[in-house]
Homo-oligomer: A and B are copies of this chain.
Amino acid sequence: MGQRSGDPSAPARLAAPDEGIGADELALATRNHGLPLEALRHDVTPPGLHYVLTHYDIPYVPNAGAWRLSVDGRVRVPLDLSLADLLSFPQITIRVTLECAGNGRALLTPRPVSQPWLVEAVGTADWSGVPLRLLLAEAGADPAAVDVVFTGADHGVERGIEQDYQRALPLAVALGDDPQVLVATAMNGAPLPPQHGRPLRLIVPGWYGMAHVKWLRSVTVSDVPFTGFQQTVAYRIRHTAGEEGEPVTRVAPRALLVPPGFPDFMSRTRVVRPGPVKLFGRAWSGQAPVTSVEVSTDRGVSWERAVLDPLLDGQRWAWRGWHYDWASSPGEYEVGARASDAGGSTQPLEQRWNRGGFANNAVRFVRVVCVDDARSP
């Protein structure tokens, strides 16, 4: 489809210098939502506070009992499974921190015009379901296959291409046992809410959100690389429009803090009183375990080491708590945190720009004013 009159799609573009957020970006921002940062306090994010991004409409599934999942393609025995069938397989639960690949996009210059995330597109949940490798074993997936393609029930058009949402994983990732990829039927012990994939979604611990296909309808084993829109057009790291680009895969390290004190409604500037202020938050990386978090109150001029909470058994794929005791005195501050991981990655202070605004993990600073007037800020 070209750009005929009447076309629903427009080409991808970058915002002009000083161009404010437009009507189309706002329409995405009002329907999708981030984690209100104070909700970083919760070890496990309640569903309504967990970030949500849906490309098209949230499918309406009044009767989850009628849902079917097919496992087909290069398999010995195709499967056609109900929810009850899935529950007859061994079940596991994994605590996973999910982050949108576009998190931080609206902070980039120039700004890629798409869902305008600041830094809130994250959340952590306990996901329960069947390890995908057990379903692939049951079907007898061809070990010489290349990709496993996942198709959701969400349908729309994007850059002129009408499509069901589809993404693929390399066969080795789909069969992996550390982490195990899940076909999840429950979030925090309850059936999936509509916006998180009711009744079925994929969970790929450590990968950005685009891989966790929601409203999962089919799993197709393929002996050729998958070339669908969301694999080869979207979700690539590109610096020029024409290049093939690198695929977006695992989550880069990031730390965020629970904003200290209390906010101004409009500016979201934080107000604290002089004295001890406990700074705390979460840090995660899908690439390697988090090894340190540092805190700065002067926009990165100086850094102090935060204390990491113990890494609990079985929580490699979830965020990790940290804290730092700050002695605040009257003045203005830019407070932020940066994470490093065992793979040697550290969050940068400067943006790593790309055309899609993906995998941006620059440190985010919060403006804090410390006032000594007990009655008013």
Complex copy number for this chain: 2
Given A24-B266, A371-B6: A271 touches B118 (CB 8 Å cut-off): no
Interface residue? A87 (CB, 8 A): no
A contact residues vs B (CB 8 Å cutoff): 1, 6-10, 19-22, 24-34, 36-39, 41-42, 46-50, 52, 54-58, 60, 106, 113-114, 116-118, 120, 155-162, 193-196, 259, 262-271, 331-332, 369, 371, 375-377
Closest 10 CB pairs of A and B: A20-B20, A33-B33, A48-B48, A8-B264, A8-B269, A21-B21, A158-B265, A29-B29, A38-B57, A31-B36
Contact for A194 among B22, B34, B39, B114, CB less than 8 A: B39
Q: Is the CB of A8 within 8 A of B49?
A: no
With both beta carbons as reference points, the residue of chain B lying nearest to A195 in the complex is identified as: B48
Give the Cβ gap from A167 to chain B, nearest Cβ, in Å.
15
Contact for A36 among B10, B49, B195, CB less than 8 A: B195
Question: CA of A31 to CA of B52 in the docked complex: distance in angstroms?
Answer: 11
Contact for A27 among B48, B56, B118, CB less than 8 A: B118
Q: Is the CB of A31 within 8 A of B264?
A: no
Give the Cβ gap from A64 to chain B, nearest Cβ, in Å.
13
Given A155-B262, A157-B262, A158-B265: A26 touches B24 (CB 8 Å cut-off): no
Q: Is the CB of A7 within 8 A of B194?
A: no
- 12 A–B pairs (Cβ distance < 8 Å), ordered by A: A1-B376, A8-B270, A26-B106, A31-B37, A36-B54, A36-B57, A36-B58, A38-B57, A49-B193, A156-B262, A162-B271, A162-B375
CB contacts (< 8 Å) of A30 on chain B: these are 29, 33-34, 116-118, 120
Q: Is the CB of A377 within 8 A of B7?
A: yes
Question: CA of A321 to CA of B331 in the docked complex: distance in angstroms?
Answer: 54
Q: Is the CB of B193 within 8 A of A263?
A: no
CB contacts (< 8 Å) of A19 on chain B: these are 20
Q: Is the CB of B157 within 8 A of A263?
A: yes
Q: Is the CB of A46 within 8 A of B1?
A: no
Q: Is the CB of B7 within 8 A of A369?
A: yes
Give the Cβ gap from A115 to chain B, nearest Cβ, in Å.
9
Question: CA of A32 to CA of B266 in the docked complex: distance in angstroms?
Answer: 12
With both beta carbons as reference points, the residue of chain B lying nearest to A377 in the complex is identified as: B157
